[in-house]
């Protein structure tokens, strides 16, 4: 399926999702930089590892937009470099966020604006990802969709719990 501009719908959705996740990742960099500025090196390292794992799963979401349902096969034969580039776009902006915050390029208005953009962009990305997954996993009545959603939520809370126990 080709959308306007000659870009397939999978590539277009993956690109929009990558940009959205990238904007969201800027704030993750703020957290790392704030830990460093507070002298909490162990926390900064823990956040770095935690966000790396978190961003790895975002890569799955981006790559998944190129696949169909069962049996899994590639719908869009985009080059691997495109998929890798989109995944890097989503995750590498953490470094930009850390640099901006660490260098002190912030004010309450600037920080609030970036946090609002990050929140809006993650909601937008999640809508794209979940609507795509909904279609591929059998719809709302399909158990695979709900198992996937609740497994993701359980994994997120488990990861958060591990991080909270390790820094306290």
Query: pLDDT per residue over 23-55, tens digit each?
Result: 878 888 888 888 888 888 888 888 888 788 777
Helices and strands: H and E segment counts in the chain: 5, 0
Q: What pLDDT score does 109 carry?
A: 79
Check: CB of residue 66 under 8 Å from CB of residue 78: yes
Q: What pLDDT score does 57 carry?
A: 74
Q: What pLDDT score does 7 carry?
A: 63
Alpha-carbon distance 162 to 146, whole Å?
Answer: 24
Q: How many CA atoms lie within 13 A of 59 on its CB side?
A: 16
Structure tokens at 18: 């990558």
Query: What single-letter DSSP state applies at residue 35?
Result: H
């Amino acid at each position: 399926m080709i959308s306007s501009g000659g870009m397939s719908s999978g590539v277009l959705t993956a690109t929009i999702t990558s940009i959205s996740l990238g904007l969201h990742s800027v704030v993750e960099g703020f957290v790392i930089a704030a830990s460093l500025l507070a002298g909490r090196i162990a926390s900064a390292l823990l956040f770095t590892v935690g966000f790396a794992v978190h961003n790895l799963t975002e890569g799955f979401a981006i790559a998944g937009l190129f696949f169909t349902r069962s049996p899994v096969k590639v719908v869009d034969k985009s080059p691997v470099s495109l998929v890798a580039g989109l995944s890097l776009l989503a995750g590498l902006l953490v470094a930009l966020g850390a640099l901006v915050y660490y260098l002190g390029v912030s004010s309450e208005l600037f920080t609030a604006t970036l946090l609002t953009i990050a929140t809006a962009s993650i909601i937008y990305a999640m809508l794209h990802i979940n609507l795509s997954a909904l279609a591929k996993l059998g719809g709302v009545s399909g158990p695979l969709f709900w198992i996937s959603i609740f497994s993701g939520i359980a994994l997120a809370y488990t990861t958060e719990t591990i991080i909270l126990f390790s820094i306290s």
